[in-house]
Amino acid sequence: MFISKFWYLLLATIAGTALAAIFLAQELYNRERFDDLSELLYKDQSETEVALNLFARRRLDALTSITVNAKVRERLMQVSGKPDLLSYAREELLPVLRAANIDLGKYSGDFLSALDRRGRVVAQVGYNEQFSGYRLTGFPLVRDVLRGKVRDDAWALDSDIFLVAGRPVIQAGQYVGAVIHGFKLSNEFANKLSKSLGAQVAFFHGNLLLGLSHLPGSKNPLASEAMVAEPVPELLKTEKFASQRISDILPLKNRTFFAIYTRMMGEARNNDAMYAVIRPFTPMTEPWGFVEGGAEQDVKALPWIYLVLGVLVAFGLGFLWNRLELEWPLKRFHTRVEGLQPNENERLNVYLWRGRLRRLATSVNEAIDKAVAAINEVRTPKQSKSIEMILGAASAAGAPAPDKYTSAAFRFSEPGASEVPPPPPVPEKPIQTASGSGSPPPRKPMGLKVPSKAPPAQATPPGVKAFVSGASIPISTGNTAVKSPSSLSLPVVSAEDAKAPLPGTPDELVYFKETYEKFMILKKKLGEPAENLSFDRFKDTLEKNRDALIARYQCKAVAFQVYEKAGKASLKALPIRS
């Protein structure tokens, strides 16, 4: 099963590598998306800065039509020379400023003011229209414009932020005043900027959100006011943001949106005026997002031929390994099981198999042992048999061996008891019987039915040689024919038992250890105490029984089978001819 296991490991490695590649690709894809988003946000910030400056320049250009208005120049010159004409000049200039602001069209301001040379508000339409006479010289923009400069700035008035632009008014070759144009930051202005950027824009006065674009009709998700305003309090506390003007890219609401916050230039910067650009971020949250996001042309571009061929090759190899290492061995195992002979000594040779099949063969043998033990328990009364009862009493000197070999079954007794009954005596020399002399009758083998009256023995023809067990000397016999040990029938043994090692060889020690392990496993399985049975004691017992059977039956080797008998672990010794 090694090749199959290696193939499974290889397929698992390939699958794991593919999954790792998919997750890595997902991470790389999200990182690339974030890098692209970062570049877009920085670009949006730069474009917003440029758009604000360009908006200021266009408003300054639009103010030219007002600063050259004759009535505006004349009234500002009059009030600059005679301050008591302020009320008269205001009433004259208010209609002019209203009409001029309307004529500005998309650049019309939320307030439009006319200032004299001292910086006093002569007339103002829009924001605080009812007031006049107060000075605006506290603003740097006003002071610069009264000196003849063209300037723009951002003012924080009350809770609002105004984009302010100013131009000087010249009359008779001298600066007689200025025109100040103010544009309030709101949702409407944020929407105008967003249309050109493609991103959301928000304006803040400190923690107060002044405007947030909503991009009507946009397919992208939009950030809410709460999401955009959430990081502002902490951001205003950081020294880095106060000194550098531009924040890092900040995540909003579980990284579904990202934003950059920028302090506005000019006077309003001291009042925490700032704007933000926001874009949504849609990461790939699942590895199979590649499949969902793939277009039809992407699917067609895949190398389908190689993909299908790879799947078929992998399936074919897996099927082949399965046949070679599982199905065919199982078929052979099934054939061996069906070929078992109906004999109580027939077993499977577990050494022909490996891995699970070896364990299965061992289980089959154990099941056969249990079945044989149960049958024997039913046939014979329960009694303990000694080795003499199983092997038979020792034959008298010169008595021939039984016609039928038998197996020897025995159990180990408690410590201190006799390990194995003494082996039967073996004649040291072959015995030759005189012609006509009577020899002791042969012993009745166990388990064989002997007729009450033996049939008359036929005389051995002259010149025929007879043998005694272990003897090869020709003798003359009377009425009894003695068989040679080679002519005696052996018990039927399995192919595994027929491979029992020869006595005294290194393989026999390995065989004894394997038998010992099987015997101890069965004892533990049956709940018998096994602590006092050492391997040396076990080996000595096997050697004694082996020697007894070899001496008794002139066999080449002895096989031992472990089986259960009457609920206890037992051993069965089988003489092997060759």
- The stretch 269-278 carries a mean pLDDT of 89
Note the Cα 104 to chain centre separation in Å.
Answer: 67
Residue 39 pLDDT greater than 90, yes or no: yes
pLDDT score for 462: 40
Q: How far, in Å, CA of 192 to CA of 264, rounded? A: 18
More confident residue, 378 or 90: 90
pLDDT score for 2: 62
pTM above 0.85, yes or no: no
Contact 163, 154 (CB under 8 A): yes
Q: How far, in Å, CA of 468 to CA of 30, rounded? A: 96
Q: Any residues with CB less than 8 A from the CB of 529 and at least 6 apart, and which?
A: 523
Asked which of 54-68, 144-158, 167-181, 473-487 is least confident by mean pLDDT, the reply is 473-487
Tell which residue, 204, 200, 211, has the closest CA to residue 277: 200
- The stretch 170-180 carries a mean pLDDT of 92
Residue 520 pLDDT greater than 50, yes or no: yes
Q: How far, in Å, CA of 188 to CA of 173, rounded? A: 40
Q: Any residues with CB less than 8 A from the CB of 536 and at least 6 apart, and which?
A: none
* Per-residue model confidence as pLDDT tens digits over 413-454: 544 443 444 444 444 444 444 344 444 444 444 333 334 444
* Per-residue model confidence as pLDDT tens digits over 193-247: 888 888 899 999 989 999 998 876 677 788 889 999 999 999 988 888 888 889 9
pLDDT score for 298: 67
Residue 410 pLDDT greater than 70, yes or no: no
* Per-residue model confidence as pLDDT tens digits over 303-356: 878 888 888 888 787 777 777 777 788 888 888 888 887 776 788 888 887 778
Asked which of 170-184, 278-292, 357-371 is least confident by mean pLDDT, the reply is 278-292
Asked which of 25-39, 165-179, 418-432 is least confident by mean pLDDT, the reply is 418-432
Note the Cα 294 to chain centre separation in Å.
Answer: 25
Asked which of 75-84, 230-239, 245-254, 487-496 is least confident by mean pLDDT, the reply is 487-496
Residue 578 pLDDT greater than 60, yes or no: yes
- The stretch 166-175 carries a mean pLDDT of 92
The pair of structure tokens assigned to 307 is 């993909």
Token pair 């006092």 is found at 532
pLDDT score for 103: 92
pLDDT score for 452: 41
Q: How far, in Å, CA of 226 to CA of 205, rounded? A: 15
Tell which residue, 356, 401, 407, 365, has the closest CA to residue 385: 407
pLDDT score for 444: 41
Query: Residue 128 — pLDDT band, cuts 50, 70, 90?
Result: confident
pLDDT score for 58: 92
Tell which residue, 458, 350, 440, has the closest CA to residue 393: 440
DSSP letter string, 360-424: HHHHHHHHHHHHHHHHHHHHS------HHHHH-SPPPTTPPPPSB---EEE----TTS-SSPPPP
Q: How far, in Å, CA of 147 to CA of 176, rounded? A: 10
Count the neighbouring beta carbons within 10 Å of the beta carbon of residue 60. Answer: 18
More confident residue, 368 or 449: 368
Q: Which residues of 526-557 are buried (b: 16+ CB within 10 A; e: fewer)?
A: eeeeeeebeeeebbebbbbbbebbbbbbbbeb
